[in-house]
Structure formats: structure tokens, C-alpha cells
Amino acid sequence: MASTNKQIVRRVAQDIKLKSIHHQLLQHIYASRGITDSSQLEYSLSQLLPYDSLMGIDKTVSMLVDALKQQQQILIVADFDADGATSCAMMMRALKMMGAQNVDYLVPNRFSYGYGLTPEIVALALERKPDLIVTVDNGISSVDGVAAAKQADINVIVTDHHLPGNVLPNADAIVNPNQNGDTFPAKSTAGVGVAFYVMLALRAELRKQQWFEENAITDPNLGNLLDIVALGTVADVVPLEHNNRILVAQGLARVRKGQCCKGIEALLRVAGRNQAQCVASDFGFTVGPRLNAAGRLEDMSLGIECLLTDDPVHALKLAQELDSLNKQRREIETDMRQQAFAALDKLDLDEEQPVGVCLYDASWHQGVIGILASRVKEQLHRPVIAFAPGEEAGTIKGSARSIPGLHIRDALDAVAATHPDLISKFGGHAMAAGLSLPAENLSQFSTAFDEQVRKLVSDEDLQGVIVSDGELAAKELNLEFAEKLRNAGPWGQGFPEPTFDGEFEIVSKKVLGEKHLKLMLQLPDNSGCIDAIAFNVTDEGWAAGTRQVRLAYRLDVNEFNGRKSAQLMVEQIEPV
């Protein structure tokens, strides 16, 4: 299999002075992430972009106002991932805060119905007798489903952020910053962010019409829902441009103050995270996966209920169920990853082998192929699609993950254009996408996908790279600076957490659980030592007596038994 070692490249940044930042290295870190003015680091809600430029927002708000005044049956149809779950829970809470008495939700079971507002989901929705369907984090590609709803005389509002296809659904209103002609600047807003903006606009109109005073309803503070908005934004791995950073920073601040929903509190608790110290990576790597586990293995309703309950005992029970599902997901993923890597070990991944990699096994779990594709992509440094059997006999479903330099949804669109009969349906983003096709088409699709990827990527794109912010001096390898970095975010996709590199001397080392390398390293000036941990790495294959290593790492805060210390989280390690 291809080596996991990546080339370490150091960031280059303009020499920009930010008035609010006094630490020289932080100046460099921010500048290298495109920060040119201190205002880009201001995360107050007053800095949020206004909703006015969202196409379709006026019609959407008008329909929702009518639905509230007439107490119509509103049914929210959600996606089965963390973005969909948070979008649904946030909108459910917001509508009830604004006086909705008849609001419910429906989330498709991944294995029974597939993604989005399909005609089958509409048929299921009809049993609830809705007057209005509102999609969250889906719907922009649901042409047939919207048509089925309209035929049944149900009004439909689509709120989504996925890229639209050539044909839009005939919904009564659509709010999606990525639809053609929309001038809202923050195109990377997650589904939960789009839904939150709709709720902000609705509240503004209801205030204008004096709805709250006339109905003796407390004017709702939608800021109280930002913990849920932040979770969905981080978990969906959308780029953290300034507007998204505001949403995430505000949500995290509420979590740390103990002002979040009971479900998030419980999920942090079962994950062993300190709520008072919660950062974006806790959402991305601990809370998000537990929430996602429900949609991957069973039914995302479990995750939505966890975010909706105000009973701490019930929230903890649901969080424990989600934690158990996440452990099952890890076991399934481990087996699938071993099968995939065993198959890849038989290949010499050179120029004769696929650049766009397709993998399939009839035993693979449909809910875990996205994670598998990510793991293999990290190993091979090339786009990967992992397939599993679909719901219908003779079909397979794929989950695609891409590399910088290749827009995976556009690549699939190009394949569909040149081979119109290969793919049944597809959709997604630049870095992730989903698709379905007849199983008999897999071989031909794999060839077509590889050919298309070869046209779009260069040899440089296929080289694994770790981008470093440089080398830290011994005086910076301490708890004080680790906490400064931790609080300098929120860090995430498109605004990455600082990574550093350097050579260290090993004082001691041991392997934990047969797969993690625990190190004690000498500081560069020999003034002391610092702990380091490299996950899923051992010293197998190192030369006997290796004492010097080169690391790419993040400086983080380790908290154990109430004591804090600086620790290096190793991204890559190699003997020198």
C-alpha cells in the first residue's frame, strides 16, 4: 500500500500587523489563513451577514407566517446526518418558541428510503396530514418528491445548501445560498445555518407584525439555539469562513457557559469531554460522530430526540444509546477498513493503477462507507469512492471523498454527462458526494471515473501534504501557549488548527493498546520534556536505538485527573 508519510510544507504568509493580536506567531498563523484585518476575528452576532440577500427568503417567511397564523400542520423533513439532525432540532425548537402548535418532523431511514424528499417519503408524510412540508439540509435535488407533494396539495419550502442540479424542484419557495442568482456571500453555510437564517427572518417579520405581543408569546432569543447551529456546522465539515466562525464561536461560548441543550451536555459527558473547555474539535471528533452514528446504523430520530429533550435524565439515556451505536460503528468500520486495505495491499499504486479509486464489497455497511472512503483517501492521497449494496436489488450506493484540487461533485457531473446511463443519481459538495448506480455498471463507472479524475488532477495534487505553520521554540512548547492556541479559534475546515513541525530527541516511548505510540520528548533547548501521542502508529520497523524523530504535530492541552499539561498531538512521525 502507498506510504502514509506526507510531505511537510510550511505556510507562507504576508507580513500583516493585526492590532488586536500581540503574539507574533499568532499574527503569522492568522495571516496565513487569509486574515488581513482584525475585524475578521470579531465574532459578535452583530457581525453576522444579514439574511436579506438570500433568494426566496421573503416568500418562505410569508408562507411560514401564514402557517403560524392558521396553525397549519408543519412537517419538517430532515437529512439523516448530523447537519440534518441539528437543522431539524433547531427549527423544531424555533418554531415552537414562535408559537407553532402543530409542528412535527420526519427523517428518512437511510436503509429503507434513501436520501431526501423522495416520492416514497411524501407518501409516508401524507399519513401525518401536513399542510406544509419544510425540508432542511435536503430538497434541492428532490424534483420528483416535490412534484408528488404538490400533486397531493401540500405546500413545500426547500431549505438546503447542497449544489443544485440542472433542474430545480417546483417548490413554493427555495432558500439555498448556492442556487443560481443568489447573492448571499456565505456560500459555505451549512444546512443548519441556512435553516437558522430562515428562523431569523421569520422572527423579524413576526416582530414587525406584533405577533408576539398580540399572542402573549415571549419574544424568542434565537441565540439560545446557537449551540445546535454550531454543532451542525462543525460536524458537516463546511469551510469555516468568517460567517460560519461567528456561528460556531457563539455556540461554543454558550456550551462553555452551561447554556446549551441537555442533549449536547449529555453527549459531551459520555464522550468524556470537559464542557467548560469545549472547542470545535470536540464537536467534530466526539459529539458529531456519536450523533451521526444513529443515522449510519439505525434511525436519526434517536439523535434528533436527544437534541430536542429538555429532560437531563432522558438526554443522558439517549446519549448513552448513541455512544453505544458509535462503538458498533467503529467495530464495523475497522473490519471494512481491514478488508479494503488488504485488497489495496495487492496493488502497486503507480501510474498504471487508478487515480480515481472505486472500492466495493457486498458485505460492507451502507452507513459506514463514507468513513471508509475518508480513511482510504487519507492513505492513498487520491479521490476514493466506497460502494455498498443499495436498498433495491441490483443497485449499489457510493460515498465519495475528494482531495484538494478536485471538486468531486463536478467530477461526477462530468461522468454523468459523458456516460448518461451509468449513474442513477448523485449529489454533494466539492469534497464529498453520494451516488447510486446499477451494480452491473460498476466496472464501467470505475473506468470512467478514473479517466475523468486523471483529466482534472495533477501529479502534485496526488502528493500527500501536511501544511505546517513552522517550528515552535522551546519557550512556546508549554501549557500557556497551548491554551492560547486552543482559544484562538474556532478552527476547522478551511481555517485549520495550527500544525507545527520539528525534530525531537526521544527520552522514552511505549506502545499503548498495541497501536498508539506514547512518547516523552526532550525540548529543543534541553530545558525539560514534553509528552506526545501518535494515534494508530507504532515504532515497528524503526531502526534499533532510534533516538531522533521528525514530527508534524499540534500543540494541545491534555487534561487528566483535574491537571492540565501541554501535549503534542502527532500528525506524522518518522525517524531521522
CATH code of residue 548: 2.40.50.460
Cis (ω within 30 of 0) for the bond into 130? no
In a domain, 339, yes or no: no
Whether residue 28 is found in the same domain as residue 62:
no
pLDDT at 352: 65
Whether residue 257 is found in the same domain as residue 150:
yes
Tell me which of 439, 462, 485 is where a domain ends: 462
Whether residue 430 is found in the same domain as residue 503:
no
**Other beta carbons less than 10 A from residue 48's beta carbon:** 17
Query: Which H/E stretch holds residue 250?
Result: helix 242-256
pLDDT at 1: 40
Whether residue 475 is found in the same domain as residue 458:
no
Whether residue 161 is found in the same domain as residue 306:
yes
pLDDT at 366: 93
State the Cα angle at 180 between 176 and 183, rounded to 5°.
Answer: 70
Give the SS3 label for residue 372. helix
Q: All 3 cell numbers of residue 467? A: 501544511
Distance in angstroms (rounded) separating the CA atoms of residues 424 and 141: 13
Residue among 46, 146, 60 nearest 95 (CA): 60
pTM attached to this predicted model? 0.92
What CATH number does the domain containing 243 carry?
3.90.1640.30
Whether residue 390 is found in the same domain as residue 456:
yes
Tell me which of 447, 462, 477 is where a domain ends: 462
Distance in angstroms (rounded) separating the CA atoms of residues 363 and 24: 53
In this structure, the strands spanning 529-534 and 563-575 are parallel
Q: Give 10-residue mean pLDDT values along the chain (576 residues).
A: 72 78 88 93 96 98 98 96 97 98 92 84 96 97 96 98 92 97 97 98 98 97 98 95 98 97 98 95 96 92 97 98 96 93 71 85 94 93 95 93 93 95 88 93 97 94 92 96 95 96 96 92 94 92 92 94 93 94
On the CB side of 86, CA atoms within 13 Å amount to 31
Whether residue 233 is found in the same domain as residue 374:
no
Whether residue 165 is found in the same domain as residue 120:
yes
Whether residue 472 is found in the same domain as residue 455:
no
In a domain, 337, yes or no: no
- Alpha helices per DSSP H over 345-368: none
pLDDT at 112: 74
In a domain, 334, yes or no: no
Structurally, the chain folds into a number of domains equal to 3
Distance in angstroms (rounded) separating the CA atoms of residues 203 and 157: 17
pLDDT at 13: 72
Whether residue 550 is found in the same domain as residue 405:
no
pLDDT at 349: 53
Residue 473 belongs to domain spanning:
13-42+467-575
